[in-house]
Chains A and B, each alone.
Chain A
């Protein structure tokens, strides 16, 4: 019970877990630390539940009128007050998934280069630049999307895609510039820094011994990266994907500027669409009447649900593909 024992135990090599104490041995400082950190942790949960509850309460008019049909209806008509969220849900998911499909290979590739290939000085500088990208306000990305990216897409990328993959339904139809496709690419550019940043940290945390052992067994540099470092870091890389996905699902300004804001569901990525966050941002300020405002708040609730479900599914996916990455 005396303090000396505690110290010896925690510093002993390989002995016990120094980060967990039994509450019986707490000193005042420890107790204070425990309550403060406990409060911090609890506040996150409280805020989340409180937001969800408020969204639930204020969306009452729309929830009562439309029920579950709200999720499956395609009409959004503020004049006749008929509201359905399906086109917005569709647009949100499609743009985010499309952005991830582009951003994950790009981001992980960049991180591998930074950690495994680039000279240390170059790596540090590039990582700094990438983190700088994450600090650019999203309205700037939106403007760059309209005035820089869309002309390039229109003149080069889209014609090429139509020429080669034009038989796919997702690349059919006219391209007006603002579209799900443009929104997905702008989102991808916005979330790449998150993926690179987190993946780089995770790869740097892979123990040096693991790499050395692999190389000693005769593996090439590439095999060491692909078969040793990446599997060990896999969980962290998935984590990077979550962070990026959460950002993409909730991104508002940049998306609304390039997506076309048309609440219809079409197979082609070249057609305009709409996302949940964009609809709320666009219509909330001028929305009049309890039903209209209720429907917009219910959209917020739906976004909450969509994020929750997608994150849950992604987490299940990780567990089903081999549990804790560090042990594989």
Chain B
């Protein structure tokens, strides 16, 4: 009996050896990544589907936050990072000094932010301009029946009630994009508050996560907040129109968000670190942002490098078709082409 067992064992070991022989470069290969929580749902889907199609590559991703992702890729503890805001020049310098190579910012998905509100008696979708949103969040517009708001919304009976402003309390790419937009449209916002994953809010209540902001807005009469577009769509939350750069009111959807990105991509810098808020052009939804995957150009493990490039290629072609099912806007064609070119820079250390 023992003999049979031993033979069986030997046979399976031999089989395993044959397998490794056949796929020496990518067998049981694991790529690890860390960063943005915003990207997590689409990453989970991509990595799962990819592993179904390529069983010898496994990709593990920890959604620890963009800051953590940047830190870990700089330290070299993960193979790739992901961030909702681009790395700063200082962070890139630190990375280059530490790792001795360049870091690619590869846009993976596009996110849009939408204003949400809860005013008893108002069922229609309100219209906002960037300036009005900035003034509400600056605490300069304090009542719903302020002429600046009523002028944009003729026929809507807005109450003489205090506006309860709600924002994200946790650091997030959502806040980065929203405050980036407010900085672009309002010089006072840019000067007084600025933009970052979390800022010193002049007014308002903070909710933890999209669900926190949505919860507070839904529970508090006369409130306003902001959410990611995909969160608002999935949860059937009514959201407002926002005026584009030319003053036309747009209701955000995946098409308008992608259009905005495509427009801005015409002036895309080589490193892809670009803010796409407030692009001018028809149907360009103004409050949108890229989310980036951070990939070093020089790899020390040839097998990993090959697997990573192969995955990136897949993600930019087949993977993008899955975006819509999770309500992420797909990348425009011109951006994808630029990225496919950029990943050619990834190579193995000499």
A78 touches B206 (CB 8 A): no
Interface SS majority for chain B = loop
A177 touches B68 (CB 8 A): no
CA distance A274 to B201 in the complex (A): 13
Q: Which residues on the A side are within 8 Å of B170 (C-beta)?
A: 281-283, 285-286
A257 touches B205 (CB 8 A): no
B220 within 8 Å of A (CB atoms): yes
Q: Which of B207-222 contact A (CB under 8 A)?
A: 207-208, 212, 215-216, 219-220
CA distance A151 to B219 in the complex (A): 8
1/0 contact string of B196-239 vs chain A (CB within 8 Å): 11111100111110001001100110010000000000000000
Q: Given A176-B164, A176-B205, A261-B169: A75 and B219 within 8 A (CB)?
A: no
Q: Which of A136-186 contact B (CB under 8 A)?
A: 146-147, 150-151, 174, 176-178
Q: Which residues on the B side are within 8 Å of A283 (C-beta)?
A: 170-171, 198
Q: Which of B67-118 contact A (CB under 8 A)?
A: 67-68, 70, 88, 91
CA distance A260 to B212 in the complex (A): 10
Q: Which residues on the A side are within 8 Å of B205 (C-beta)?
A: 176, 178, 260-262, 272
* Most chain B beta carbons < 10 A, residue from A75, A151, A288: A288
Q: Which residues on the A side are within 8 Å of B206 (C-beta)?
A: 260-262, 272, 274, 282
Q: Given A261-B208, A282-B206: A146 and B216 within 8 A (CB)?
A: yes
CA distance A293 to B66 in the complex (A): 13
Q: Which residues on the B side are within 8 Å of A282 (C-beta)?
A: 169-171, 198, 206, 208
Q: How many residues of A contact B (CB 8 A)?
A: 31
A266 shortest CB reach to chain B, Å: 13
A22 within 8 Å of B (CB atoms): no
Chain B residue at minimum C-beta to C-beta distance from A286: B171
CA distance A82 to B154 in the complex (A): 42
CB < 8 Å neighbour of B65 from A76, A278, A286 = A286
Q: Which residues on the B side are within 8 Å of A76 (C-beta)?
A: 200
Interface SS majority for chain A = loop
1/0 contact string of A237-272 vs chain B (CB within 8 Å): 000000000000000000011001110000000001
Q: Given A285-B171, A286-B170: A147 and B208 within 8 A (CB)?
A: no
A175 shortest CB reach to chain B, Å: 10
B220 touches A78 (CB 8 A): no
A177 touches B219 (CB 8 A): yes
1/0 contact string of B179-200 vs chain A (CB within 8 Å): 0000000000000011111111
A49 within 8 Å of B (CB atoms): no
Q: Given A261-B207, A282-B206: A288 and B200 within 8 A (CB)?
A: no
CB < 8 Å neighbour of A75 from B64, B195, B198, B200 = B200
CA distance A178 to B207 in the complex (A): 9
A287 within 8 Å of B (CB atoms): yes
B164 shortest CB reach to chain A, Å: 5
Q: Given A257-B212, A261-B208: A288 and B199 within 8 A (CB)?
A: no
CA distance A146 to B216 in the complex (A): 8
CA distance A244 to B193 in the complex (A): 38
Q: Given A79-B193, A288-B91: A174 and B162 within 8 A (CB)?
A: yes
B256 within 8 Å of A (CB atoms): no
B220 touches A177 (CB 8 A): yes
Q: Which of A258-313 contact B (CB under 8 A)?
A: 260-262, 272, 274, 278, 281-288, 293
CB < 8 Å neighbour of A262 from B65, B173, B204 = B204
Q: Which residues on the A side are within 8 Å of B129 (C-beta)?
A: none
B291 within 8 Å of A (CB atoms): no
Q: Which residues on the B side are within 8 Å of A23 (C-beta)?
A: none
A89 shortest CB reach to chain B, Å: 17
A-B contact pairs, 6 of them (CB 8 A): A78-B197, A176-B164, A272-B205, A283-B198, A287-B198, A288-B67
New A-B contacts (12) at CB < 8 Å, excluding given A151-B219, A178-B220, A288-B88? A78-B197, A79-B195, A176-B164, A176-B223, A257-B208, A260-B205, A282-B169, A282-B208, A283-B198, A284-B65, A286-B65, A288-B67
Interface residues of A, Cβ cutoff 8 Å to B: 75-80, 146-147, 150-151, 174, 176-178, 256-257, 260-262, 272, 274, 278, 281-288, 293
